[in-house]
């Protein structure tokens, strides 16, 4: 009897040890993180800034691109679906959120129709983000000839990577036109942010040489998920100059280069000489990033940030975010909460010249735990257009003053302090 009890105790101890190991592996990226402040050495209009961004982040910045901004589902979805329906050779599509609903049905139908017409269609969905997608959608897509995979679907051999999700949002059609931004495939992104049930978001459509880098970002995770390589002229055609914008598409992942996204934001914020306009759906900066934003404000940079207001899908994120605003507000950073609906934009504009859009949130999960991808663009005219959009959003937001933040009820302070303990996972 004692022997049996001892065996069960030993097995239980081994199981608890295994669970503890898996938890630790899932909560960390396994790579060293940037811990030292980046020194302000040059501005965004300095050629050295562009060289450094290319060298440190990986892909070089390419000239000859053109970008179009798409606001909310009424503009975003028709543009994406139109490109899909016009595909002649290939479609590669990676996204975090894909739910059934009406827009999910439209995308499935468009992809299926193209696959049946002979277009090679590859779809990569995050397993967790597509949990609300009905199995019949997957079956229908596969039956039509679509290659569809789910990123890090639970298997005994990948349990240590369960917390590593692909949050990337990349669509490339025929290797010539690319889309990226914050939108997911769900009905809450429909409409024009006209009420609480329709979210505010921004996406970009891009043509030019940088589309090849967008395709490379997709193939990076496609190879991880399938072991199959996509190449050749149908995926990577020769791309001609289409505009005057300098652009770069880069990615980050805990399996390699997890600090790339964090470093990009640090470089951009540190280089700022005049202004920083940040639209952030989930704003939970770590100490280093908060110090960098505050330092920019103290050296005279006009730093303005829009975050979600009371309408947010993850209340713990809002509380954790608010807990960290004190030093920023003291430094002169202007923070405002968007009021009409959920604010899901992820756009950074620096010095009305350089801008970044993509899947990345301003938090530790995006910087170190998720697979993310962002498009950086240097184009003064396009950046000014994004600032005009920012100003419209800012006018519909409620500014938070240091005094109001300091006078918030103690119950709120307690809840926000408690939520901030989970900051590394948000």
Catalytic residue among 262, 344, 363, 371: 344
Q: Is 231 a catalytic residue?
A: no
User: Under a CB-based contact definition with an 8 Å cutoff, are residues 274 and 268 in contact?
Assistant: no
Encode the chain in three state secondary structure.
CHHHHHHHHHHHHHHHHHHHHHHHHHHCCCCCCCCCCCCCCCCCCCHHHHHHHHHHHCCCCEEEEEEEEEEHHHHHHHHHHHHHHCCCCEEEEEECCECCHHHHHHHHHHHHHHHHCCCEEEEEEECCCCCCCCHHHHHHHHHCCCEEEEECCCCHHHHHHCCCCECCCEEEECCCEEEEECCCECHHHCCCCCCCCCCECEEEEEECCCHHHHHHHHHHHHHHHHCCCCCCCCCCCCCCCCCCEEEEEEEECCCCCCCHHHHHHHHHHHHCCCEEEEEECCEECCHHHHHHHHHHHHCCCEEEEEEECCCCCCHHHHHHHHCCCHHHHHHCCEEEEECCCCECCEEEEECCCEEEEECCCEEHHHHHHCEEEEEEEECHHHHHHHHHHHHHHHHCEEEECHHHHHCCCHHHHHHHHHHHCCHHHC
Q: Which of 201, 220, 351, 379 is catalytic?
A: 351
Q: Which two tokens stand for residue 307?
A: 């975050």
CA-CA distance, 426 to 420, in Å (whole number)? 9
How far from 189 is each of 18, 198, 345, 359, CA to CA, in Å?
40, 6, 11, 15
Q: Out of 126, 174, 220, 311, which one is annotated catalytic?
A: 174
Residue 351 bears catalytic tag: yes
Q: Which of 198, 203, 224, 346 is catalytic?
A: 346
Q: Is 195 a catalytic residue?
A: no
Is 139 annotated in the active site?
Answer: no
List the catalytic residue out of 122, 126, 152, 169: 169
Residue 198: active-site member: no
Residue of 122, 152, 167, 262 marked active site: 167
**Is 174 an active-site residue?**
yes
Structure tokens, 315: 């209340």
- Measured CA angle at 81 (ends 77, 85), to 5 deg: 170
Residue 357 near residue 204, CB atoms below 8 Å: yes
Question: How far apart are alpha carbons 366 and 373 in whole angstroms?
Answer: 10
Q: How far apart, in whole angstroms, are the C-alpha atoms of residue 152 and residue 10?
A: 31
The catalytic residues are 167, 169, 174, 344, 346, 351
């Amino acid at each position: 009897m004692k022997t049996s009890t001892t065996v069960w105790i030993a097995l239980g101890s081994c199981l608890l040890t295994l669970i503890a190991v898996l938890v630790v592996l899932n909560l960390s990226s396994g790579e060293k993180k940037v811990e030292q402040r980046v020194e302000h050495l040059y501005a965004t209009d300095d050629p050295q800034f562009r060289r450094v961004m290319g060298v440190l982040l990986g892909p070089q910045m390419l000239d000859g691109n053109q970008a179009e901004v798409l606001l909310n589902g009424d503009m975003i979805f028709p543009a994406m679906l139109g490109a899909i329906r016009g595909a002649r050779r290939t479609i590669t599509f990676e996204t975090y959120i894909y739910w059934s609903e009406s827009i999910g049905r439209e995308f499935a139908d468009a992809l299926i129709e193209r696959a049946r017409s002979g277009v090679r269609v590859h779809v990569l969905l995050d397993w967790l983000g597509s949990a609300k997608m009905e199995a019949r959608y997957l079956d229908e897509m596969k039956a039509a000839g679509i290659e569809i995979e789910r990123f890090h679907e639970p298997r005994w051999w990948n349990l240590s990577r369960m917390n590593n999700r692909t949050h990337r949002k990349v669509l490339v059609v025929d290797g010539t036109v690319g889309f990226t931004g914050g939108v997911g495939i769900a009905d809450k992104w429909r409409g024009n942010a006209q009420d609480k049930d329709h979210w505010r978001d921004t996406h970009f459509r891009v043509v030019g040489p940088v589309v090849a880098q967008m395709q490379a970002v997709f193939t990076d995770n496609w190879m991880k998920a399938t072991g199959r390589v996509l190449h050749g002229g149908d995926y990577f055609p020769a791309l001609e100059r289409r505009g005057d914008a300098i652009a770069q598409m880069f990615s980050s992942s805990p399996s390699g280069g997890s600090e790339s996204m964090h470093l990009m934001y640090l470089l951009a914020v540190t280089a700022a000489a005049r202004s920083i306009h940040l639209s952030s759906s989930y704003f939970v900066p770590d100490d280093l990033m908060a110090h960098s934003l505050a330092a920019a404000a103290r050296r005279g940079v006009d730093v303005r940030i829009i975050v979600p207001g009371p309408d947010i899908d993850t209340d713990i994120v809002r509380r954790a975010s608010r807990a960290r605003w004190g030093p920023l507000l003291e430094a002169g950073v202007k923070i405002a909460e968007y009021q009409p609906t959920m604010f899901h934009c992820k756009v950074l504009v620096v010095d009305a010249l350089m801008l970044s859009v993509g899947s990345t949130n301003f938090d530790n999960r995006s910087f170190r735990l998720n697979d993310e991808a962002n498009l950086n663009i240097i184009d003064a005219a396009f950046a000014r257009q994004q600032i005009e959009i920012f100003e419209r959003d800012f006018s519909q937001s409620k500014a938070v003053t240091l005094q109001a933040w300091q006078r918030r009820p103690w119950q709120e302070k307690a809840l926000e302090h408690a939520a901030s303990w989970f900051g590394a996972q948000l």
